[in-house]
Amino acid sequence: MIINICLSIAAALVLSPLLGGIINKTKAFYAGRKGSPVLQLYFDLFKLFRKESVISTSATFIFQAAPAIIFTSTLAATIFVPFIPGLPAPSFTCDFILLFYLLGLSRFFLIISALDTGSSFEGMGASREAFFSALAEPVTFVTILTMLRLGGGTSIQAAFRGLSSESWIIIILTAVPFFIVMLAENARIPFDDPNTHLELTMIHEVMLLDNSGANLALMEWAASIKLWLFSLIIVKILLPAEILTPAAYTGLTILAVPAVAVITGTVESVMARASLLKVPQLLFSAGIIAFLGFFLSLNQFLGW
Amino acid sequence: MIKFKLSSLPIFSESEFREKALGLTSSGCRISSFFASAVEGKRKLYLVLSDDEAGTVQVITTQPAAVPGNSGELSFHTLTTENPAFHLFEREIFEQSGIRPEGHPWLKPVRYPDRRPAETDFFRVEGSEIHQVAVGPVHAGIIEPGHFRFQCHGETVYHLETAHGFQHRGIETNLIGGPRPADLCKIEVTAGDSSIAHSTAYCRILEVLSETAPPARAEAIRAIALELERCANHIGDLGALAGDIGYLPTSSYCGRIRGDFLNMSALICGNRFGRGVIQPGGTGFDLSDKIKEQLLARLSAGRDDFISAVSLLWDSPTVLARFESTGTVSQEASEQIGMVGPAARASGCGRDIRQNHPSGIYRTDCPKIAVSDKGDVFSRAWVRWLEVKESIDFIEKLLQGLPSGDVFIDGAQKPAADTLAVSLVEGWRGEVCHTAITGTDGRFSSYKIVDPSFHNWFGLALALRDEQISDFPVCNKSFNLSYCGFDL
């Protein structure tokens, strides 16, 4: 179990900044530009860790403690999604609730650290984050419940059986809303624009405006670990575990996670960001798809 | 452009002036300029009204009365309460000349808040759930300084007030005593992205005052430069609009295509913003056959690139969903506050100086005027798209039928004495109005510049009413008004 936990954490720490680089490279390709290097986020993190943090005089200890809490709770969530199948992994009844509430804890501290600065921009970002994540959460849990129905278990391990001939339509109806939730949770287009400099339109980025140096690095790193975690879950929802050998499964996972990043980059390139008024509608649509999948999963033997 | 002998301008009594001003503005005339000027020690108000239907410009003047008991202070009864289009002009008059518009509802400084700091409070919406958001003057992007104050209820903007004056350079006062050769350079940077429009307006003032007519070839080159300026800025803005909504393909392609059009201006004169092209009496540069051929080739390539890059916008439902019904200014509101340019045409007000008050080559030929009717971000983008296509066609037509002959005629530097001249030019943002008054020595005793931004900033504030605050950047970009053109 220790090996698997260490592997999950190491993979999340080392590989997660790659995803942002792949997304940006994909977007640059669609825009006809060369784009920044794929490793740019590593360079940024390295640079930020060597810089000092400037902390607003109006901020309290919450603001200073938040980056570490956000980083560790996001990282802790990754251990429930093991990287290599077969090896024992931490797993218990309803562990998926802990997984998503560790992310919730990190979001809580992100929101109160943003409010702590007293900036009007950060307050707006925090309010948007709280509102949209409240809408995204039910969708997440419905998709996980569907997967558990199919897998026949109560821990997240059981949810990762992957595509099979009899349940593929349910799997697709689960993976699609989960992908939409991933875009929302990770501040991607059409929900948020990670590249914008317009503080009035931001959601995630605006909450980091007062962070600098190592604090900012931890926040950025935590954000990329979260993206890594969601991408990994999508891959695990789709990859058929039963018909692949552990080696092939691990190899395919390593290839498929960057593929999710490429798809994300493509989505960001071909569509504009939605108006904030439309965000609830988008999440409701994702919820409807997720519920459809759930209802179908209630009877697994529909004869598909 | 038009000029009046000062002695021929009737001076109305204040009540007559008021009646005439309100009567004319309610029957189709638009305020192009309204300012105070001291001629022979007597301070007067000059109101320049343009009638778009008839294509005429009128100037009416009055001598404001002295405030009883207060030596030296003059005042007149405000017109703002009857016609909101006077609002900003009257504030400017009070700031520049001290003539008080009695009863003005919001007599705040326009550009120099430090002169009357007590009166610089922002309009406030009261209530415990209301929060204020202050943006600027230092912004996140590489743009000019200006301050925006939002009164918000949650995400909804109830009111937006803009505050300017962060980069006034005293251009108008600098021009008094002119014309001097260096003045043209100041005019060209009145609003750096509208160099051609402002320098054309300035040169026309000098030409009408000295009764010199530039050669036909020069007029054609001027129009080419003006339309190239329009194309480059509209293309840049369409790209920036796409960038604001996170639609990358159009954003990055338009950035490059804008550069191509700026380089066409550089091909004519060596400067990407067309500095030095327009000179009093003609143009500073001629177009050789070789440059003409090159321009035609680049234009045709530029048109193809532009159409393919911007078509992506109109073909993308997510873009249309974002643009449509965002930041709407109704035609009624647009008329009331006297909006100009593409922003007014997007609201259905089909006014364009090139068509309504043509000068130079536009007298004989004019591109088709683009009009839309919704008044939202989409309409403003759509009008620009139509205008760029029209302008490229127009430039091609001008290049192919370029008149032969000289491009410069001497003698435009000696203006007539005791005369008032008005010149109107349709810049890419809208109507640029210059008004000059010469003294007995034939030198400028007063020079008034009205950039289209002066008319339109309030339009942006109206566009934001009851909108989402997160829609501000895209609304702002759809107007893309000038800060330095406003501040002068």
Q: What is the ipTM of this complex?
A: 0.86
- Given a contact cutoff of 8 angstroms between Cβ atoms, the answer to whether B37 and B43 are in contact is yes
Q: Whose CA is closest to A237, among A128, A126, A158?
A: A158
Give the Cβ contact number of residue B117 at 10 Å: 10
Determine phi and psi for A24, rounding to 5 degrees.
-65, -35
Cis peptide before B137 (omega within 30 of 0): yes
B20-42 pLDDT tens trace? 899 988 888 899 999 998 876 78
pTM score: 0.91
Q: Which uninterrupted H or E stretch holds B157?
A: strand B156-163
Q: How far is B488 from chain A (nearest CA, A)?
A: 26
Which distant-in-sequence residues (6+ apart) come within 8 Å of B364 by Cβ? none
Q: Which uninterrupted H or E stretch holds B420?
A: strand B419-426
Q: Whose CA is closest to B445, among B180, B173, B205?
A: B173
- Let me know if B126 is exposed, middle or buried by CB neighbors in 10 A (0-12, 13-18, 19+): exposed
Per DSSP, the residues of A131-180 read HHHHHHHHHHHHHHHHHHHHHTSSSHHHHTT---TTTHHHHHHHHHHHHH
Cis peptide before A240 (omega within 30 of 0): no
Whether B135 and chain A come into contact, CB under 8 Å, resolves to yes
Q: Whose CA is closest to A175, among A78, A28, A3, A292?
A: A292
Whether A268 and chain B come into contact, CB under 8 Å, resolves to yes
- Given a contact cutoff of 8 angstroms between Cβ atoms, the answer to whether A68 and A75 are in contact is no
B195-223 pLDDT tens trace? 999 999 999 999 999 888 899 999 999 99
Cross-chain residue pair A274–B134, CB shorter than 8 Å: no
Q: How far is A139 from chain B (nearest CA, A)?
A: 23
β-strands B130-135, B147-153 pairing: antiparallel
**What torsion do the CA atoms of B159, B165, B171, B176 make, to the nearest 10 degrees?**
90
- What is the arrangement of strands in the sheet containing B130-135, beginning at the earlier edge strand? B130-135, B147-153, B156-163
Positive or negative, the CA dihedral B20, B24, B26, B27 is: positive
Q: Whose CA is closest to B237, among B137, B306, B138, B173?
A: B306
Distance CA B473, CA A202 (A): 11
What is the residue extent of each domain of chain B?
Answer: 2-110, 176-450
Measured between beta carbons, the chain B residues lying within 8 angstroms of A189 are 246
Q: Which of A197, A200, A272 sits opposite B470 (nearest CB)?
A: A200
Distance CA B91, CA B454 (A): 12
Output the pLDDT for position A213.
Answer: 92
Distance CA B116, CA A59 (A): 35
Output the pLDDT for position B67.
Answer: 78
Output the pLDDT for position A304.
Answer: 43
Output the pLDDT for position A300.
Answer: 60
Can you state the angle between helices B289-314 and B216-244, rounded to 10 degrees? 30
Give the Cβ contact number of residue A300 at 10 Å: 13
- Given a contact cutoff of 8 angstroms between Cβ atoms, the answer to whether A272 and B318 are in contact is yes
Distance CA B155, CA B158 (A): 10
- Sites in chain B below the pLDDT cut of 70: 40, 70-71
- Given a contact cutoff of 8 angstroms between Cβ atoms, the answer to whether B399 and B227 are in contact is no
Give the Cβ contact number of residue A9 at 10 Å: 16
Strand, coil or helix: what is A296? Answer: helix
Best B248, B474, B476 member to test A by mutation, with max A CBs in 10 Å, is B248
Whether B352 and chain A come into contact, CB under 8 Å, resolves to no
Distance CA B288, CA B291 (A): 5
Output the pLDDT for position A303.
Answer: 45
Cross-chain residue pair A199–B469, CB shorter than 8 Å: no
Can you state the angle between helices B216-244 and B472-479, rounded to 10 degrees? 170
Strand, coil or helix: what is B464? Answer: coil
Strand, coil or helix: what is B38? Answer: strand
Cross-chain residue pair B140–A277, CB shorter than 8 Å: no
Q: Indicate the CATH number for domain B2-110.
A: 3.30.460.80
Strand, coil or helix: what is B408? Answer: strand
- Sites in chain A below the pLDDT cut of 50: 302-304
Whether A58 and chain B come into contact, CB under 8 Å, resolves to no
Residue B5: strand pairing partners = B419
Which distant-in-sequence residues (6+ apart) come within 8 Å of A178 by Cβ? A139, A140, A143, A230, A233, A234, A237, A290
Distance CA B412, CA B213 (A): 9
Distance CA B95, CA B36 (A): 10
Helix extents (H) in A32-55: 40-49
Q: Which of B244, B252, B318 sits opposite A198 (nearest CB)?
A: B244
Best A128, A183, A201, A264 member to test B by mutation, with max B CBs in 10 Å, is A201
Closest residue, chain A, to B252 (C-alpha): A31
For B368, which DSSP code?
Answer: P
For B431, which DSSP code?
Answer: E
Q: Which of A189, A198, A274 sits opposite B140 (nearest CB)?
A: A198
Output the pLDDT for position B70.
Answer: 67
Cross-chain residue pair A272–B131, CB shorter than 8 Å: no
Residue B76: strand pairing partners = B101
The second-level CATH assignment, the architecture, of B176-450 is Orthogonal Bundle (1.10)
Determine phi and psi for B37, rounding to 5 degrees.
-145, 145
Q: Which of B133, B134, B318 sits opposite A272 (nearest CB)?
A: B318
Distance CA A128, CA A193 (A): 13
Distance CA B369, CA B227 (A): 13
